[in-house]
Amino acid sequence: MDKVNIFDAIEANKRNSIILILLMSGLLFLAVAATGYLFGFNEFGIIFALFITAIYVFFAYGAGAQTILSISGARQLADNEEPFLQNVVEGLAIAAGVPKPKIWVMEDPGMNAFATGMDPKNSHIVFTRGLLKNMGREELEGVAAHEMSHIGNYDIRFATLAVVMVGAIALIGEFGWRFAAFGGRRDERRGGNGVLLILALIFAILAPIFATLVKFALSRQREYLADANAAKLTRYPAGLASALEKISGHASVAGATSTTASLYIADPLKKSMLTGLFATHPPVEDRIKRLKAM
């Protein structure tokens, strides 16, 4: 695998975060406008779409991480809880040169973890109880270092925004599709254009798919980079490789959804059939192979 300069990766992620906001905001705007047209708001649809998009982007940037944490059902640890875990995370934060993130635990037997937040000063790492029970120190350090790399690389901002924005686009698209499927508006009474109605419906269906493909493609590349940076941080790639071997086949998490799945260190959806373009993560076997070759 080609080596990636960590500072170049950080700048690329900051820049790509802006591009993502613009791209997803545009898709969100168009999805709202298309749905508004399906409802018959063609006179005020554009203004309505702009208003909703502006409010939602503001919300996503300010409260995206807390929304994700709430959806996961995780509980934040007090500073005196889980001292072993606190020690591992604090040591890695010092080594990575970032503030210690807030630590959360999901009371789930599956083995998984994820990071979220908008920047290293406002970051969170979530571990499942199953992962904490089944990992040795070097394996836990590997997993924590992987998530710490997401924080240091500003992957968390990118991923958090992607999850919230794609979730909104998917919800609006589903709403528009269901409305049209069950009768839609009385377009002829308003003198509407049937072609535009069909185009609006097509966009309402395709926008979430396109947005999801973009999110998944970016997520897969960031997992490889975080693995490499974690190995560099711990100086022991075998630790993360061993952790991934344990996680493989035991990563399903009850609190995970198709919207948040891309955040986790491994696909948390039970018996996920997503592959290729629709895969949330690169193959675990491939990641292990790369780590063992380092």
Helices 194-234 and 137-152, interaxial angle, to 10°?
130
Helix (DSSP H) and strand (DSSP E) numbers for the chain: 9, 4
Verify whether residue 223 is a known catalytic residue.
Answer: no
Written as one letter, the residue type at 121 is K
Q: 3-class DSSP state for residue 266?
A: coil
Which of 268, 13, 25 minimizes the C-alpha distance to 159? 13
Q: 3-class DSSP state for residue 13?
A: helix
141, 147, 245, 285: the catalytic one is 147
As given in the structure block, the two tokens for residue 216 are: 């998944």
Q: Distance (Å, rounded) from C-alpha 210 to C-alpha 195?
A: 22
Q: Which residues are identified as catalytic?
A: 147
